[in-house]
A and B are shown apart, each in its own frame.
Chain A
């Protein structure tokens, strides 16, 4: 069963504007959430994470928001840059050793 869902397979945004990527989960036991970025022919690269005890985490242009009551998290990229064009995966874990469950990904295209 798919416990982590990314319902938007693609997103197109203009350079300089905000990109908002969404992720929903069904397992209330998840207590740590991560976003990974993937370029073609490369493995996923860690971007940013958030613990379930927080509702926001920022790192430069990237901010992740967590709404536990709605079982929803989002990734904001401001401002979007052409180099941000990639597939973004939401992931979650509840295991002490970190087995990740991934969503299906959202393809982001940043246009000039």
Chain B
């Protein structure tokens, strides 16, 4: 296993279009996180899955955002009716559960540009 992978790496879209990103976590990890990073800022938490259950969504996540992890493996993040303010790097991370604090392994991110 080579780590967390994300697809696509870059996405350019026009305002109003829908986009979907995919994250494949490390295979034995049952925790999966989505973060968003804008220029000059650190990553901001968006949502978290434990297996297939979505356990928390940030207030940052508007109704246009939806995330799924249907079989507790890969996850998708969809943004509907994109806006220019959605332009950012979208990062996925995964970790093992079992102990309280586990290192989160990050993927390379998907850079979204909304024109």
Binding site for B on A (CB under 8 A): 4, 6, 9, 32, 34, 36, 41-46, 49, 51, 89, 91, 93, 96-105
Known: A4-B42, A97-B31. 5 other contacts (CB 8 A): A6-B42, A41-B108, A42-B108, A46-B103, A51-B101
Q: Are A98 and B31 in contact (CB under 8 A)?
A: yes
Task: Return the contact of A98 from the options B42, B104, B106, B107 (Cβ within 8 A).
Answer: B104
Which B residues touch A41, using CB under 8 A? 108
Binding site for A on B (CB under 8 A): 4, 31, 33, 35, 40-45, 48, 50, 55-56, 91, 93, 95, 97, 100-109
Q: Are A46 and B42 in contact (CB under 8 A)?
A: no
Q: Are A44 and B108 in contact (CB under 8 A)?
A: no
- Shortest Cβ distance from residue B90 to the other chain A in the assembled complex, whole angstroms: 11
Question: What are 21 A-B pairs with beta-carbon distances under 8 A?
Answer: A4-B42, A6-B42, A9-B40, A34-B103, A36-B106, A41-B108, A43-B4, A43-B91, A43-B109, A44-B91, A44-B106, A89-B43, A97-B50, A98-B95, A98-B100, A99-B45, A99-B56, A100-B33, A100-B43, A102-B43, A104-B42
Which A residues touch B100, using CB under 8 A? 32, 96, 98
Q: How far is the CA of A9 from the CA of B40 in the complex (A)?
A: 9
Task: Return the contact of A100 from the options B45, B55, B56, B108 (Cβ within 8 A).
Answer: B45
Q: Are A89 and B50 in contact (CB under 8 A)?
A: no
Which B residues touch A101, using CB under 8 A? 45
- Shortest Cβ distance from residue B11 to the other chain A in the assembled complex, whole angstroms: 15
In the A-B complex, list the 6 residue pairs whose CB atoms are closest, starting with the nearest: A102-B42, A43-B106, A46-B103, A32-B101, A44-B106, A89-B42
Which B residues touch A99, using CB under 8 A? 33, 45, 48, 56
Task: Return the contact of B55 from the options A42, A43, A93, A97 (Cβ within 8 A).
Answer: A97
Q: How far is the CA of A84 from the CA of B42 in the complex (A)?
A: 18
Which B residues touch A89, using CB under 8 A? 42-43
Q: Are A105 and B101 in contact (CB under 8 A)?
A: no
